Amino acid sequence: MAASPPLSSSSSSPGRRRTSPPLHSALLREDYDEVLESEVFIDVNRLRKYARHGIPLEIRGVVWKYLLGVEKSDRSNEFTQRKARYEAYREIDKENVEVSKRVRGEATRYLARAKKDNLLDPHSAPAIFEAVICAYINCNNHVEYSPSFVQVCAPFVITMKSECDVYSCFERLVNVLYESSLDNNINKRVAQFLSYFRTLMPELYDYFEEEELDVGEWASSWLRYLLAKELPIQSVLDLWDVYFATPDYVALHPFVCLAILRHLKDSLEDLEQSEIRSMLLRLPKMNISRIVSQAYNIRSEIQARYGTIVSVRA
């Protein structure tokens, strides 16, 4: 059962090692604090601008809630709206025997892999995963459960103090991904992505074919869940800062995937099939700022080659 809605604008994650923030982070924090301390109106456009350069972990959850529309920019009824959201979550049935069992298994495997990052509390996190994902499936039975829901949920478990906030943000994101899949199903998205891949990096594409790599396996996984499953968790957090600050982040995502391939091209061409597959399904940590910058360059390159407008609103 969720606790009473917190009014603090700070967020922390259990078990995380605390260090003194670098100067750049401190300056960013001052910018964010100026916006977040407003008593009347939160300037979400300013938050978007700042978020593209990263969000300090201790306030990431608060900022994400505004970027995702979970918290309203008008603060005049903030407490009433927050209380209503908490009460609504409290009423949701969180029991689902079949889903619970699958979530527990996937959460155990995920936490074992993420142990070295020290960002998730192995004692409290499993119950949060289970409650949030079961609640979502119970309220959205048209959506099929996926084991990747654990990885999609994890960034919110890390950044949010409240289980209700985790649920609200998880629900927003999964709904966006689901609606996107209705507009453009995964087979079409993979086909278009592979067409861009073949055009931009023909040598790497041909090498994957020579190695008989199952392109559909990793490409569909990359495109479905915003790389939550493949990237190290810190890279996911950095990438989602940019995504949530970008109104049309689902449209940007394929170009980020292409930028990652371009970034890893030389390394991938030195590997054999099983090694390539392992790298694509467990990507190394990388500079997300550079990857996103490259993604916009690739988008422009695709636009020039194909003579079409590829809409991604910044």
Q: What is the pLDDT of residues 76-118, one digit of tens each?
A: 999 999 999 999 999 999 999 999 999 999 999 999 998 888 8
pLDDT confidence of residue 291? 97
pTM, two decimal places: 0.88
Which residues of the chain register pLDDT less than 50? 1-20, 312-314
Q: How far apart are CA 173 and CA 152, in angstroms?
A: 9
Q: How far apart are CA 147 and CA 186, in angstroms?
A: 17
Residues 6 or more apart in contact with residue 127 via CB below 8 angstroms: none
pLDDT confidence of residue 223? 95
pLDDT confidence of residue 304? 87
176: left (phi over 0), alpha (psi -120 to 50) or beta: alpha
